[in-house]
A and B are shown apart, each in its own frame.
Chain A
Amino acid sequence: MQGLKEFLRRFVRNWPAVGGFALLMIVLVMALAAPALYPGSPWDLVAQPFLWPGADAQFRLGSDMMGRDLGAGLFHGARVSLLIGFVATLVAVLAGIAIGALAGYYGGWVDDVLMRLTEMFQTIPPFIFAIVLVAIFQPTVATIVLAIGAVSWPAVARLVRGEVMALRNREFVQACIAIGMNDARIIFRHILPNTLAPVIVTGSLMVATAILTEAGLAFLGLGDPNVMSWGTIIGAGRDVLRTAWYVTAIPGVAILLTVLGINLVGEGLNDALNPRLRQK
């Protein structure tokens, strides 16, 4: 618990990280408040089309070319973006940890097979690969999450493998074997907690990438047609970019600020958790 207190102290002293955290919290509150503030579906045609922001007190953020409330889209979109960002990262991190830990701990042919597999995934450009995966399967929230997870686990796997390989040869792991622990217990209880710091940092930055990837997919029309994400709105606004640029700009700024917030938090975590930077 002492470590946690120390970590919080370092994190709080880092004002960009705190700012990023505040941004993230705002987005989270938006996502949580969406059903209360905008009870209807964001797809509902509630206003007259092309209502500029501020023109109508009832629809402060304006409406798009179909007369959908952009405010509703923004708030409900926050739910989708955060959900996909975090769940996809969780999938990627879990897969990466499992594969990296096995490869790093057992080495030999297990390592060879798993790392060649990882490299296979890494040779394909991630965004193209995600498009292919979503295009093959139906675009739903679940397949988008899995597609993003499938393209982002290799980084985690390589990171965890390296950490595990280094820890594998530490004497305390030898001591665990000499005490008679089985491999699962050694890996999960003794090795993985020691790799957590870099994984948390990488994972936090992956959330930002996942949100961007989802927005990109939705922009290209490969989003889940039943949910409105920020990318969906941007994609719809593309056609009217010259006459009603605010349709694209509002969700665009939302993505920008969210990704910025996540990156700042990630950097802050890195500074607070990375022992090499602690001395500075």
Chain B
Amino acid sequence: MSARLLEVRDLRTHFFNRGTVAKAVDGVSFHVDAGEMLALVGESGCGKSVTAYSLLRLIADPPGKIVGGEILFEGHDLMKLSDDEMRRLRGDRIAMIFQDPMSSLNPVFTIGAQIAESVLVHRGGTKAAALSRAVELLDLVGIPDSRRRIDEYPHRLSGGMRQRAVIAMALACEPKLLIADEPTTALDVTIQAQVLALISELKQRLGMGVIMITHDLGVVAQHAQRVAVMYAGKIVEQAAVADLFSRPLHPYTKGLLASIPRQGASGGRLNEIPGMVPSLLAMPRGCSFAPRCPKAVDRCTHHVPSLADISPLHPVSCFVAQQEAKL
């Protein structure tokens, strides 16, 4: 039984703008154990990133606000921490990797200085000690010739190397939880695989919990242990990876899986899910997926389904799937 590292209960993050409310995250619950990778999957605009930013309380207020829920990290509710306590936690116990390594490094400092700084901010000590730690970290993330590379400016590194440097920064204080917000979307395919393998390996070695935000189900299949599928601000299905791939229950998950291009199946169009994610400002009354759902019944357009375990540890929020499971 591994320790429960993070438990999110009924998280709600809303954005307020000129009298309208966009419920970007609307009642999301999940957990991450130490040494486990949870993948948060969904289309653009479904609230994955907002969920991640909410965990670190990085939502700009105004216009955003976490209006409800608990974020229990090692048993303590992050929502109850003061700004100062929260700041000390960021980068130390919980670290985050951003989407674009081109812009997440400061162009005017060497990568060594930036990695050393994240050590200095939390651990203090001398600059020389922090720099030698930076060399260690660059070794850890597989940047060759680390002793020389710490003096390079970000623009002199390739995208993959930069993302490695960003990961090194995030790992500087050996965080317990790493949040990776689409860490590979800005990289090309071969580098993607390397960076993901690196994160996966570091997770094993350091025993971190990882939340991997992605829209790429291939990533999920290879590296994650559990998956939470998000749609329009809610988690619609959650399961262990093998379980989800062999037995997807929510029509949206099925659609996502069907739209993955497969080797060998040449010719023909890729499957797609018709329609678009509804605007957060104009949510349908019932299930938010109902307008695009091939299986929607009358009830779906009037009532909002809630997550319910269909089989153990495999909750789904879909009336149809829940109905079928009972039979």
Contacts and interface: CB of A to CB of B under 8 A. Distances in A.
Interface of A: 2-3, 108, 170-172, 174-182, 185, 189-190, 193-194
A172 B121 contact: no
Contact of A190 (B96, B100, B106): B106
Contacts of A171: 98-100, 103-104
27 contacts: A2-B153, A171-B104, A172-B107, A175-B96, A175-B98, A175-B104, A175-B105, A175-B166, A178-B58, A178-B90, A178-B91, A178-B96, A178-B98, A179-B91, A179-B95, A179-B117, A179-B170, A179-B172, A180-B87, A180-B90, A180-B91, A180-B121, A180-B122, A181-B117, A181-B121, A185-B121, A193-B109
Contacts of A176: 106
Interface of B: 56, 58, 62, 87-92, 95-96, 98-100, 103-109, 117-118, 121-122, 153, 166, 169-170, 172
Contacts of B91: 178-181
Contacts of A193: 108-109
- Interface residues of B: mostly helix, strand, loop or mixed? loop
B177 to A, nearest CB: 12
Nearest to B57: A177
Contacts, number: 64
B149 to A, nearest CB: 15
Given A179-B169, A193-B108, A174 B122 contact: no
Given A179-B121, A179-B169, A190-B106, A174 B90 contact: no
Given A175-B166, A193-B109, 20 more contacts: A2-B153, A108-B62, A172-B104, A172-B105, A174-B104, A175-B98, A175-B104, A175-B169, A179-B90, A179-B91, A179-B95, A179-B169, A179-B170, A180-B88, A180-B121, A181-B87, A181-B117, A189-B117, A190-B106, A194-B107
A108 B172 CA distance: 33
A237 to B, nearest CB: 49
Given A185-B121, A190-B106, A194-B106, A178 B56 contact: yes
Contacts of A2: 153
